[in-house]
Amino acid sequence: MMRISALLLGLLFGFGLLLSGMANPAKVQGFLDWFGDWDATLAFVMGGAVALTLPLFQWAAKRSRPLLAGRWYAPAAQGIDRRLIWGSALFGIGWGLAGICPGPALVLLGLGRLDALVFLVAMVAGMGGWQYWQHRVN
Amino acid sequence: MMQLDWWLGLAGGLLIGTAASLLWLLYGRILGVSGVVAGLWQQTGGELAWRVWFVAGVLLSGLIYRLSFGLPEISLPYPWWWLALAGFLVGVGTRMGSGCTSGHGVCGLGRLSVRSVWAVLVFIGSGVLTVALLRHVLGVM
Q: Per-residue pLDDT tens for B54-76?
A: 999 999 999 999 999 999 989 89
Model pLDDT, residue A138: 82
| Contact check, Cβ <8 Å, A111/B65 | yes
* pLDDT more than 70, % of chain B: 97
- pLDDT tens track, chain B, 141 positions: 455 689 999 999 999 999 999 999 999 999 999 999 999 998 888 899 999 999 999 999 999 999 999 999 898 999 999 999 999 999 999 999 999 999 999 999 999 999 999 999 999 999 999 999 999 999 988
User: Among A8, A36, A56, whose Cβ lies nearest the Cβ of B136?
Assistant: A36
* CB neighbour burial string for A17-56, b if at least 16 within 10 angstroms, e if fewer: bbbbbbbbbebbbbbbbeeeeebebbbbbbbbbbbbbbeb
Alpha-carbon gap, residue A3 to B23, rounded angstroms: 11
Phi, psi of A80 (to 5 degrees): -95, 115
Count of alpha carbons within 13 Å of B93, Cβ hemisphere only?
30
pLDDT (mean) for A113-131: 97
Whether the pLDDT of residue A109 is over 90: the answer is yes
Residue A1, min C-alpha distance to chain B (Å): 10
Residue of B nearest to A8 (CA): B57
User: Among B21, B134, B141, whose Cβ lies nearest the Cβ of A56?
Assistant: B21
User: Among B16, B28, B113, whose Cβ lies nearest the Cβ of A65?
Assistant: B28
User: Among A19, A92, A102, whose Cβ lies nearest the Cβ of B123?
Assistant: A92
pLDDT (mean) for A55-60: 97
Model pLDDT, residue A78: 86
DSSP letter for B8, please. Answer: H
DSSP letter for B31, please. Answer: -
Residue B140, min C-alpha distance to chain A (Å): 11
Model pLDDT, residue B1: 45
Model pLDDT, residue B3: 56
- pTM > 0.80: yes
Which residues of chain B neighbour A37 with C-beta distances below 8 Å?
none
Residue A135, min C-alpha distance to chain B (Å): 13
